[in-house]
Structure 1
Amino acid sequence: MEVKKTALAGTLESSDVQVMISPNESGITIDLVSDVKKQFGEAIVARVKQVLSAYDITDAMVKIVDKGALDSVIKARMIAAVQRALDIVEEPKWEVL
């Protein structure tokens, strides 16, 4: 699926994550900012790629600002941002959950 617009989900509060997804023409680009990047950076990027793959997104720019969010929070914020970026908020892809 094609990312139609820039979308944002999440906050910069402690234990949350802010996700911004924008259109991109050259594959997947992930920019991760996190205090725990050294310990959990690979796991966060893997979750981001898993959600993008579930929506068949091959071109997107994703900026993640992590404030110590749990994996389930990262997945939920990613799903919200992707659905907003694809403009399918009214018709969610339930099988992704």
Structure 2
Amino acid sequence: MKINKVAKAGTLESNDIMIMVMPNDKGGVELQLESIVMKQFGNQIKSTILEKIKEMNVEDIIIKAQDKGALDYTIKSRIQTAIERAM
């Protein structure tokens, strides 16, 4: 699947994550992550985001994520919503 436009999902409130997706003209998947729990869970958050993108067969995407302590199911739902909005 291809991303056609910029889209967002989520909030910057506690226990949530703000996801912004946009087309990547250079190709491939690019992830930019900021998190208040980066030291403890940064690798897990990145893995969860990339896993959901792969599951949805999305190519050529830039993802900007600002995490405020969201759980995995919240991260997955925000990614899915942002991608669906961008199509």
User: Which bin holds the TM-score, normalised by the shorter protein?
Assistant: over 0.9
Instruction: Name 1:5's counterpart in structure 2.
Output: 5
The higher-RCO structure (CA 8 Å, 6+ apart) is 2
Instruction: Name 1:50's counterpart in structure 2.
Output: 51
Instruction: Name 2:74's counterpart in structure 1.
Output: 73
TM-score calculated relative to the size of structure 1: 0.85
**Alpha-carbon displacement from aligned partner over 1:8-29 (angstroms, at most 9, x marks no partner):** 0000001100000000022111
Gapped regions of structure 2 (runs ≥ 5): none
Instruction: Name 1:92's counterpart in structure 2.
Output: none
Identity percentage of aligned residues: 42
Q: Secondary structure at the match of 2:14?
A: coil
Q: Distance in 2 between matches of 1:10 and 1:84?
A: 12
The 4+ residue runs of structure 1 with deviation greater than 4 A are none
Q: Distance in 2 between matches of 1:34 and 1:12?
A: 11
TM-score calculated relative to the size of structure 2: 0.94
- Larger Cα-atom Rg: 1
Q: How many equivalent pairs are there? A: 86
Quote the offset at 1:56 in angstroms. Answer: 1.0
Q: Secondary structure at the match of 1:5?
A: coil
1:81-92 matched pairs, under 5 angstroms: 81-86=82-87
Q: Do structure 1's residue 20 and structure 2's residue 28 form an aligned pair? A: no
Please report the RMSD computed on the Cα atoms of aligned residues, expressed in angstroms: 0.8
